[in-house]
Amino acid sequence: MKAILSVSDRRGLVDLARGLTGLGVDLYATGGTRAHVQAAGLAVTAVDALTGFPEILEGRVKTLHPAVYGGLLARRDQPEHLAQLEAHGLPLIDLVVANLYPFRETIAQPGVRLPDALEQIDVGGVSLLRAAAKNFADVLVLCDPDDYAPVLAEWQQAGAVGPATRRRLAARAFQQVAAYDTAIATYLREPGELFPATATLGLQKVQDLRYGENPHQAAALYRMDGQQPGTLAGAAHQLQGKELSYNNLLDADGVLALVREFATPTVAIVKHSNPCGAASRDDLREAFDLALAGDPVSAFGGIVGINRPVSGALAQALAAIFFEVVVAPAFTPEALTILGGKKNLRLLAVPMAEPPVPDTFGPALSFRTVDGGLLVQAPDHGPGDEQVPMHPQTTRHPVLGEIADLLFAWRVCRHVKSNAIVLAKDRAAIGIGGGQPSRVDSVKIAVQKAGWRATGSVLASDAFFPFPDGVEEAARAGVAAIIQPGGSLNDAKVIAAAEAAGLAMVFTGQRHFRH
């Protein structure tokens, strides 16, 4: 039996080569791979001996030769194939061990130039994997070092590698090639080509989950290829606690997106994909208390997000309440000691990096599944406070303190399921209503949550008021100012209702639906 070895990732290669030699396999390898195996004292022959042709073009052409691909692609159940190999003096090849040049790692380096990236596009390795995988019934293909030991064990114990394992390894090889080509296509696309006619995503499994939204649903977390410095899938590190669930991850992603909206220290609490509390303060302990006060009943069992490291003082407050997950950029040693007493509480350290602006099809876009497909869009990243347009529509304009609260509420509102209403006072959410088919019902819920605190508060609405009733409901509760996109056919009536109540109302001209 003959094997061709040509790898970039040499993890476990020597142990594999030693095992194959023990099974009576003759090893052939390309330049660097051969040197690595020889250095371990194992017998290995240059691929040149098969092809009768030297490596050329600085190693760009090594295995692309009929002597290699004839031996890989010949079907053992076709006598004419075997006769042709014999006529040309070509041997059968029974095993390929190959993985690919580090293209992803190269393009992840800052300042990488196009010529450097192009040099890391593997041609021969991809061809070896495809040929071997196509003929997997007769040719074994190994592209992942993690497969070496179990495949060797099966071979040694059973005397052969079975059909099921061969097929699984072939699928793995084709998937590796597909993901590799996806990374190349994504890199080479012109900036601005967000929605190409055909597109693929490279996904790497991070972990299996206990179950999905409900116990009868299987689930897993995948990471998209590409730089993701501030994402749960790409950068989160779990410091303690139970295994993360599907719902935990959805809520943690939501609270992370909310708190990183703010440059100032901010704490937010999310429950069932909706914020139920948020506050900004220089003192994080005070911010937490205010966020919790926004809706303490809903906060029970929720997910907390913090855009600053967690101190011991804040940890004491967190430990007093039942939460499922706390997400923050870091935790002090004192905080870890305090929260370590709550063994089931998951602590996630995630850098608070700015989300990337999408310039081509890839992980910076937003994806939602529909039956049989994907909806893809640019994410709803809001502008900085100084860039939010605030066009006064009423005689009374908002005063300075109201402006700060309007901007705070506007940021939080973008993360509430539509129809979204947020009441805020002193840069803290005091009442949130969302996910209702009727906007006025969302206002009623937010007002009910706020109670007496609604007097003198401000209100943010993610989309226009279709009728004056929502404004009238807010006015009865004592709301002093409203920020909304405008654009309703009934804007004049809505503005008139605000005027009649003495409210200040501003339009932004931009809605923020979150379905």
Q: Catalytic residue, from 2, 134, 242, 493: name it.
A: 134
Q: What angle do CA 161, 166, 169 make, to 5 degrees?
A: 125
Whole-angstrom Cα distance, residue 33 to residue 72? Answer: 19
3-state secondary structure at position 440: helix
What residues does 482 pair with on adjacent strands? Answer: 459, 505
Catalytic residue among 272, 381, 397, 493: 272
- Rounded to the nearest angstrom, the gap between the alpha carbon of residue 135 and the centroid of all alpha carbons in its chain is 35
Going 376 to 382 to 387 to 388, the CA torsion angle's sign is positive
Residue 233 class from Cβ within 10 Å (0-12 exposed, 13-18 middle, 19+ buried)? middle
3-state secondary structure of 50: helix
Q: How far apart are CA 429 and CA 422, in angstroms?
A: 7
What's 331's DSSP letter?
A: B
Active site residue 272: yes
Distances (CA, A) of 287 to 24, 277, 421, 468: 68, 10, 21, 33
Length in residues, the chain: 515
Q: Residue 190 has what DSSP assignment?
A: P
**Number of H-type helices and E-type strands within the chain:** 20, 21
**Beta-carbon contacts of residue 49 (< 8 Å; ≥ 6 apart):** 28
Q: Which residues are catalytic?
A: 134, 272
